[in-house]
Structure formats: C-alpha cells, structure tokens
Structure 1
Amino acid sequence: MKNLLLLFLLVISANCFSQNYKITYLKSSNGNLIENQDAVWVFANNNQTLLSTENIRNQKADFPFEETIVDRSSNSFFQKATLKSSEIIATKDSVSLGKQTFEYTNDTKKVLGYNCKKAKTIVNSNTIEFWYTDELKVKGSPTVLGQNLGLVLEMVRNGNFVISATKIEQIKSFPIFQLPQKQVDALTYKDLLWKSRFTTISVFKDQILNFSDESKSNDSILRFANGTIAVRKVQLPEIKVGSQIFVDVTEQSNGDAYDRTGSLFMIPTDKEISFLNGLQNGAKTLPIYTNGNGKEYQGVIITDNYNPVVELMRFFTPFGVKQYNTLQLKDKTWAENVLYRQDVSDLRSLLSGKEVWLGINIGNYDKGGHKVSANITIHTENESIIKPTQIIPLFCTNNIMEMAGQEYGTMFNNDKGLEVSFKLEKPMKNCKLRYITSGHGGWENGDEFVPKKNSIYLNDKETFSFTPWRQDCGSYRLSNPASGNFPNGLSSSDYSRSNWCPGTVTNPIFIDLGDLEAGTHLMQIKIPQGLPEGGSFSSWNVSGVLIGEQ
C-alpha cells in the first residue's frame, strides 16, 4: 500500500507541476524499418518515466506484456507484467540504475530538431550508443538502460539495430500506472514472465523406469516391459504452422550405472493395430517383418493396418549420473542430472490439437533404474512462410519393448536389410525422410565402436548414404561418474561411437527425396552389420518418418 500511495502522489504531483511528454519510438534493423511492429511509447516528466507500447496502452497487446515505471526521486524502477493467465505481478529494482556506467564522447547531432550528445556502453559484449538531449528538461529512454543520461532519442546496438524517436508530443496528464498487490523478487519475476511466453505441457514427472515385477500402472500412467516403459495419453492444443515445438527430458540414475538407449515416442493409433496393442498383449501380436535371415521382427515397419512408433527424441543415458556421484576424481565435479532438449517442430501435424499416446523408455535390467521427467513446450510464431505438412511413419527398429521380448534390430546382416513398402493416396511435394540412426554392439569389434555406412534406397535407387559417427563423446565426461577408466588414460564415455555418446541426444538427419507421385513406393535401409562374436552381436536402431507437402 505504501508503494501504491507513493506512485499516486507522484502522478498527482507530476500532473500539477511539470510538463508531460509522450515519445514514440520505432525499431530498424540493418537500415530497414521492422514491419508490423508495436511502437514503443515513453512518457516522461520531471518525476518519472513510463515505458510502454502502443498496443499495451490501446489494450491490444498479446499476453504476456510488461511496463516499467522509473521513480526519479529514489532512482529506482518498478516492472509490472501481465501474464498469459491474466495474473499481474510486479517487482522493484533499487540498484540497477545506479550501477550503469557510460563513456561520454564529444560527438553531437540533431534528432527531431533537438541537439543530442553521445554516450556509449558495453553490455554482454554488445556496444550500445545513446543519443540524448537535455533541451526538454526530462529524462527517459526506450529501455531501462540509459534512463539517467537525459532524454534518449536514439539507441544503436552494434551499429545495425536502432531504436529511434519518431515523434515527441506534449500531453496534458501522465498516464495512470497502478501496481498490483502481488510483488515478487526480481528472479521470480523474470522466471514467471519467461514461462508465460510459451506453453508447457508436463508429460512425465519424476517417473521411475526400472526393471521390477513391482512396477504397476495407475489411473494416468501405464507401465510395461517390467517397468522400463511408461505411457500416458496427453491432450495437445492447436499449434500454429511455423511455431516452434520442443521436447525436453531430464534424467538421473536411480541405481543403474550403465549407458542405456532411451526414447521419447508417440504411438499412432489411426489404424486397426497400434504399438499400444503390443504393449498390452505382447510383442508377438504386432505385425511381423522378415527378410530371410531367419528372425522375426515385431512392429518395426508400416503395414496396411499398422503404423510404427514415431520417435520424438532418442537419447542415451550416461554412466550413473547423480547415483554414482560419490565416485570421486580429482578436479571433476559431476553433473546432478542430464537435460536433453530437442526441436521437434517438423512433427507439428502429428501433435497439433490431438489427444495422443506418448511414451518414454530406457532399456535396463536394474531394479533402481532411472528417474526421468519430460515436457513439451510450444513457442507460438504469429507469422510463417512454412507450409503445412503430411507425415507418414515408416519404420522404427529401436526395440523399445526389449525387456518384453521385442527383437533387436539385427536385420541388416544380409543384402536386403530393412525393406519398407508404403502407398501414397495423393502426390507429395518436397518430401524428406526424418532419419534417426545409432549403432550398437558394445565390444571392441561391435558396431557401436566401428563406423558403418548407412545407405538409403528409394524405388531401387540409392538416394543418400553417410557414415554416422560421434567424435565428441569426451565432452560429456562430467555426466559419467561411473564410466570405466582404462590403462591408456581414456574413460569408456570418451570413446567415439556410431552416432551417439553417453549423455546425449541423437539428432535426426533430413534426407531430401524430392516430389513423390501417388502410388506404391519401396524404401530400403542397408548397413553392413558386423558379425557376432560368441554371445555378443551388433544391431542398429533406425527410425524414419516421411514428411512432405500435399
């Protein structure tokens, strides 16, 4: 109440004894005025300065938005934010203005007919120049920075981004600025404002993925494969074309010390059979793929009545992060967890406005297993040149049901490899294959440690080939406390691998396929899979979805 009374008295005093100005600013980049921008409005008099925008003051601003008022008598400012939820919060800063430092130059020029002097400062390696005038006897700036210089009429950042005053008007009264009851510290204010700028959907929270007969489902989360898989149904909002969609997973060891394959995935349910049927009734109930090598692979390719899972993110756990942080090495401070975060905007049409089954798994045989949390965040873009797409899941050999008997991806041990037939009802333009691949076989001659070329064929023609290989695994040593150390001075987590490292995401690559006509098409994935040795064998987890414009 004391702050509210102070501001009320300031407004009365300002309106009675000083001149009030409204300054309009517009932004330019590289000499070009930014289109469709919300003009910055600054109101200034002897006692205070209000930073706002045209849309805010005309009640047309999108949520969240914020305003700032500077109290000249105390050299402090209040920031007020109206969040997406319509909640209003505020914070006070009594320190920052006094800490600003500037280099003053002898340069002068006129802006809107007023004589201006130049000052500059450096913030986060950005050089910012200010052109300010003392002729109006008021102070203000289009940002919190530079508030005490004078009236800043132009700001230039790094020589290419400019905020310039385009109009100065004398007004009768200073706008009303009312503080809300809820005032928070500066860090909380920034956090709440930042989180209000996007939509967060919590998918899993502190979920244990372990191997135990005691793992049980509940009303919201289904558990399968002795607890190594968790699945739940999630309602997603409509997502504008061009918006950014991210998934994030946070992982800690809850007992398991080894590096494991993990996947955050979506289960398509638009056909007669889905992967959910296999989870509930056993892997053998899924469509079987064979290629003549004598093995049966459950649920790995598209059929007339089945779509395979779509991997949103494939990730790999490190060696024992958190649980084994007590294993000390000199000059090593272990991470508390691993955060995996990935852009999945290309999968928008599978997610937007739909109720979908989302799952997460980490293959392991440990009763403690791993603790994971997963979120989807949606960051809306108002304008986009991106065209809507159609998505067709084609294949996924990642044996997510490993602990429930699903066969490993060992079908690459003959010339046929993985063969997928799919039918397009209509032509698709600008088609791409979203392809994720990682090689496994964790002994000296296994494909985990031996580079192998992946070749993609479309309609009997080789379309693309590359050798997936990660050489940066040593960058993640601090997430791998339980990684074994060898006589040569390397740790197991340092070694290069077939497109993955302990503690990282394996990113998809996008393979251009051009325009595809309506009808049936044949895709093959060929990899020279290594031979088994004793009880050890190699396998490849590959997944792919077709993305194209209708």
Structure 2
Amino acid sequence: MKKLLFIVLLGFSGILDAQNYQITYQRSSNGTVIEGQEPIIVETNALLTKVYNKTKDVTVSSYPQEFTIIDRASTSFQQFAILSMDRAIYMKDSTTLAKQSFEYLPETKKILGYTCKKAKTIVNSNTIEFWYTDALKIKGAPTILGQNLGLVLEMVRNGNFVISAVTIDKIKTIRSNGLKTQKVDALTYKDLLWKSRFNTIPIFKDQVINFSNESKSNDSILRFANGTIAVRKVKFPEIKIGSQIFADVTEQSNGDAYDRTGSFFMIPTDKALSFLDGLKNGAKTLPIYTNGNGKEYQGVVATEHYNPVVELMRFFTPFGVKQYNYLELKDKTWAENVLYRQDISDLLPLLSGKEVWIGINIGNYDKGGHKVSANITIHSEGESKAQPTRIVPLFCTNNIMEMAGQEYGTMFNNEKGLEVSFTLDQPMKNIKLRYITTGHGGWENGDEFVPKKNTIYLNGKETFGFTPWRQDCGSYRLSNPASGNFGNGLSSSDYSRSNWCPGTVTNPIFIDLGDLPAGNHTLKVTIPQGLPEGGSFSSWNISGVLIGE
C-alpha cells in the first residue's frame, strides 16, 4: 500500500536543542478503558507541541487523519487534516488559546510520579477538570483545551469520561511532517474534514420537477410524466455490511404553492418487466391489479414478471417554501428550503455494488414546480442495526406516474383492499415488512384528515393493525409561507394528518412477520377508505418490502 508522500516540510526551529518528551494517553468511560481505541500522542518541548492519534496502519482506509501543531512563541496553532493519499489541508488559529479561561482549584494529586495541580472550566454545559504539572517545564495537553496550563496528565469530562497519561518518555526530537497542504479557513476545514469521513453519491442537483410539455430528457437524466419524474442510472460501490446509508433531499418551491407528495425511489430491474418500461411506454403497459371495484391499478403489486418501485423515502413538500417567502407574517422568518434526511441502511442489498435506476417524483401541475437536490451518503464506520441479506419488493400504490395517467390508490373501498401473492424460493427468517403509509384526499371529511386503521394480514391471518396519524404538523409552520390561514386561528399546515405533514418525511414502520417457509404466500392490507364527496375522493399511498435473512 502506498504511503502519502510528504513534500513540503514544516519548520520546527530549535527542536533538536530542546528537551523533548512524548506522552501517551488513553481514554476511559465510567471507569473502564475504551477498547480498540487509538492512543493520543503528545510530543512537546518548550517551543512547540504536536498532538495526534497513533494509527496502527496508515492506509487509504485510515483517512482522514488529523494532527495539531501548537506554536508556543505566538500562542497559535495549526490544525492539519490528511484527507486522502494526495490531499491535505490546514487552518491556522491565533486567538482560541488566548481566550481559554480556567478556575484554579487547591487540590493536588500525583500522576505517574508527578505532583499535579487542578483546574476547571465549563464548555457547552460540560464541566472539564484538568490535572497538570509544572515539574518538567513544558506545556501540552491531549486536546486544544488546556494547552497553556502546563503538562496536562489527566482530563475529566462530567466526571465520567477520562483522558489520562499512561507513559511519559524522553525522545530525541519531535518528528516533522512534510505535507503538501492547502490552507483553508476554519469553516472550510471543518466542512472538508466532515465530508471526507463518508462517501457521497450525488443523484440530482438543482433538478426542476414540474409539469410542462417543455420538460426534456438529456444524456444523464430522463424526464417523464410531463417533467414530474426524473430518473437516472447510478453506480454504487460495494458497501460493507454494517455500514449506514442515508438519503437526503433538499426541496424548495420553484412556483408551486401547494403541499405535494414526493417520492425518492429505486426501480428494480431484476424481472422481465420494470416500472421503467411503464415510464417509457405508458402506465397501461404495466401489470394491472383489480379488486372488484371496477378500476384498474397499474404497476402497484409484484407479479412473477414484475417488481414495483421501492421507495427509499416518502416526503411531502411544504406550502411554497422560498418562492413565496415574500408573504410576510409578524415574528415569522421563513425557511429557505426543506431538508429531508433518512436512514435507509435496511435497503443496503438493493444498492451495494450495483448499477441501479434512481428516481424522484413530486406530483404537481405547476409549470415552475419544485427544485430538488438529492444525495445518498455511505458511512462505513459505526454499526447499523439493520443487516438484511434479502429484500422482496411487494407493493407500492403511490401513483408516481399520476401526471401520466396512473390510477390513484383507491383500492381500499372494499374488503379485499390490496392483496399481493409472492413466492419464496427458499425460507426467510426474522422477516420484517418495511411499510410506508399516508392517507389523502377530501377536505375535512376525507381520509387525509380522518384517522383510519391499517390492518395487515399474512396468509389470511391478521398480523398487525395500527392507525397512522401525525399530530406535530404545526412544528413545521416556518417552512409553509403559502399555507392558508383560517378563522379559527390555525393555518392549513398546522392540521393533523394521516401520517404526514407538509414539509416532512414519512418514516417507514417495521412490522415483524417472523419466519416463512419456501413456497407461496399472500399479504393483504385493508383500510376503511372514506366515501367520495362530490368531486373529492380519498386514497392511500402505501408501499412495502419484505426484509429478512
């Protein structure tokens, strides 16, 4: 493995003539040493101090790496970050060290044979205590905090997290680091360091989702349903089991003033027919589901030769954020956009190492529509609780192709509701149904505003039932400048709804289904859908996939 080539030397003047020490620190929590940690190393003398983590192996996988150089003469420090094999950045701070203040306390104790004094400070409501010695005539600490006290041998945060020195050794010199570095400001440093800790897969950037005959596809992004759907092919790297995956979408109005259903989704293409075929050739070319109510529902359930879309995230636009921020109200400062961010680690097998079609849709009839950006980020460090080995798409009644004639999810007006049959070629264990549900339609008597129970049946037996309902919609008022205000003092965006609010994500729920043997199975969803009122009708957007071992 190639090591990072250090090119430009940092000038450590006078290092060879000074008495140099290396102090090694370890971390502990609640009295127990933290396992698997990288020791903190402080190399210091009267002129400068270097602080870094001792890594076991400097490889590509160990980036980013940080270290700090404190210049004692100028009371300043430089913070360095090695972001990759060929990139390093640094920032300089000349004020922070001088601003630190401490309360000096009378207690003393011995650490590693040295008599230590005590100091204390409070940072962001955290009480931090320092034990430091003047015996060696040098200064240093395992963090930026406390660098000018003396040689800090122990730091205690809130009485339970401790960084303590375990060895103090004399060394010949403080090792210099040759770095080809780029100087940046402090905010840019933090931003670049943060972004280097995970892999960002850009999906859409400032993509307009609108309704217009002028909406056209290009070489990388396909547009469908008069511009209300954008789709592109994305290549994902191999993703380590246990990684966390997040989807994020940023939205703002580009003309449309209303709250709309949005979907960030993946199109399975592992069977003979896919939703992409329906986008290209029309909704009527997709498999038809009927339940006896006289309507035909296109592409909503899995069949032997077809898998429906898998929703990565269901989101709802607010009333006109950004475009209508000129509608002023006293003591209200409107948001500039809405960020939707959701953990989708449970869907890892659908993405890892694959080239897949990813799409985004916002149902609207406005020529300006909405502007969106979307990314998927992969975080390899840390453990995800969701580690499935198999995913089976079952249904999605969210009519993503609404503006191209796909029928609304009104199949819940009879006892059959939505029913899907599926075949497992091998047994599945610890199965969960990843279920997203939102109710829509009507005015005050429609299912959008009336709680309705969702009931799940597996192989004819009722397995789970609950009433999806959101009562926190008023929390998002500042994202809804164009929301209508009523005589009772409420705004439209305040009202509770069937599992959604204008400007929010609707989280999936995970329904335990146990183990299933190989063979044929049936899953059914029933909802007591409300009756039409004049030109208004109720519908339900539900989607579900099986996740199991």
Shorter-chain TM band: over 0.9
d(CA) in 1 for partners of 2:58 and 2:448? 60
Shift in alpha-carbon separation, 1:262–1:5, aligned structure 2, 3 A: closer
User: In the alignment, residue 327 of structure 2 is paired with which amino acid?
Assistant: L
Q: What TM-score comes out, normalization by structure 1 length?
A: 0.96
User: In the alignment, residue 188 of structure 1 is paired with which amino acid?
Assistant: T
Q: Tell me which moved more, 279-288 or 49-58.
A: 49-58
d(CA) in 2 for partners of 1:498 and 1:383? 32
User: In the alignment, residue 143 of structure 1 is paired with which amino acid?
Assistant: T
Q: Which residue of 1 aligns with 2:15?
A: 14
Shift in Å, 1:12 = 4.0
Shift in Å, 1:479 = 0.7
Shift in Å, 1:444 = 1.2
Alignment RMSD (CA, Å): 1.6
Shift in Å, 1:14 = 2.3
Shift in alpha-carbon separation, 1:57–1:260, aligned structure 2, 3 A: closer
d(CA) in 1 for partners of 2:434 and 2:101? 50
Q: Which residue of 1 aligns with 2:175?
A: 175
SS in 1 for 2:62: coil
User: In the alignment, residue 318 of structure 1 is paired with which amino acid?
Assistant: P
Shift in Å, 1:463 = 1.1
d(CA) in 2 for partners of 1:361 and 1:430? 32
SS in 2 for 1:135: coil
Q: Which residue of 1 aligns with 2:204?
A: 204
The number of equivalent residue pairs is 543
Q: Which residue of 1 aligns with 2:254?
A: 254
Shift in Å, 1:541 = 0.2
1:92-103, aligned counterparts within 5 Å? 92-103=92-103
Shift in alpha-carbon separation, 1:251–1:5, aligned structure 2, 3 A: closer
Shift in alpha-carbon separation, 1:254–1:430, aligned structure 2, 3 A: same
Q: Which residue of 2 aligns with 1:157?
A: 157
Q: Which residue of 1 aligns with 2:133?
A: 133
Shift in alpha-carbon separation, 1:539–1:387, aligned structure 2, 3 A: closer
Shift in alpha-carbon separation, 1:443–1:68, aligned structure 2, 3 A: same
Flag structure 1 segments of 5+ consecutive residues without an equivalent.
Answer: none
User: In the alignment, residue 164 of structure 1 is paired with which amino acid?
Assistant: S
User: In the alignment, residue 140 of structure 2 is paired with which amino acid?
Assistant: G
d(CA) in 2 for partners of 1:525 and 1:386? 24
d(CA) in 1 for partners of 2:215 and 2:535? 29
Q: Deviations over 1:296-350 (max 9, x none)?
A: 1100011100000000000000011111111111111111111111110110011
Shift in alpha-carbon separation, 1:57–1:308, aligned structure 2, 3 A: closer
Q: Tell me which moved more, 407-416 or 509-518.
A: 509-518
Q: Deviations over 1:437-484 (max 9, x none)?
A: 000014111000000001111111111111100001011111111111
Q: Which residue of 1 aligns with 2:185?
A: 185
SS in 2 for 1:83: strand
d(CA) in 1 for partners of 2:327 and 2:40? 55
d(CA) in 1 for partners of 2:363 and 2:57? 55
Q: Which residue of 2 aligns with 1:75?
A: 75
Q: Which residue of 1 aligns with 2:455?
A: 455
Q: Deviations over 1:21-61 (max 9, x none)?
A: 00111111222211121111110100110001221796797
User: In the alignment, residue 320 of structure 2 is paired with which amino acid?
Assistant: G
User: In the alignment, residue 138 of structure 1 is paired with which amino acid?
Assistant: I
Q: Which residue of 2 aligns with 1:361?
A: 361
Q: Deviations over 1:406-431 (max 9, x none)?
A: 00000000001110111111111111
Shift in alpha-carbon separation, 1:386–1:357, aligned structure 2, 3 A: closer
d(CA) in 2 for partners of 1:197 and 1:212? 40
Q: Which residue of 2 aligns with 1:519?
A: 519
Q: Which residue of 2 aligns with 1:500?
A: 500
**Residue 84 of structure 1 contacts residue 197 of structure 1 at CA under 8 Å; is this kept in 2?**
no
Q: Deviations over 1:147-169 (max 9, x none)?
A: 01111111111122111111110
Q: Deviations over 1:242-263 (max 9, x none)?
A: 1111111111111111100000
User: In the alignment, residue 466 of structure 2 is paired with which amino acid?
Assistant: F
User: In the alignment, residue 28 of structure 1 is paired with which amino acid?
Assistant: S
**Residue 78 of structure 1 contacts residue 90 of structure 1 at CA under 8 Å; is this kept in 2?**
yes
User: In the alignment, residue 55 of structure 1 is paired with which amino acid?
Assistant: T
Q: What TM-score comes out, normalization by structure 2 length?
A: 0.96
Shift in Å, 1:105 = 1.1
d(CA) in 1 for partners of 2:50 and 2:57? 11
User: In the alignment, residue 494 of structure 2 is paired with which amino acid?
Assistant: D
**Residue 80 of structure 1 contacts residue 179 of structure 1 at CA under 8 Å; is this kept in 2?**
no
**Residue 321 of structure 2 contacts residue 335 of structure 2 at CA under 8 Å; is this kept in 1?**
yes
User: In the alignment, residue 42 of structure 2 is paired with which amino acid?
Assistant: V
User: In the alignment, residue 239 of structure 2 is paired with which amino acid?
Assistant: I
**Residue 27 of structure 2 contacts residue 161 of structure 2 at CA under 8 Å; is this kept in 1?**
yes
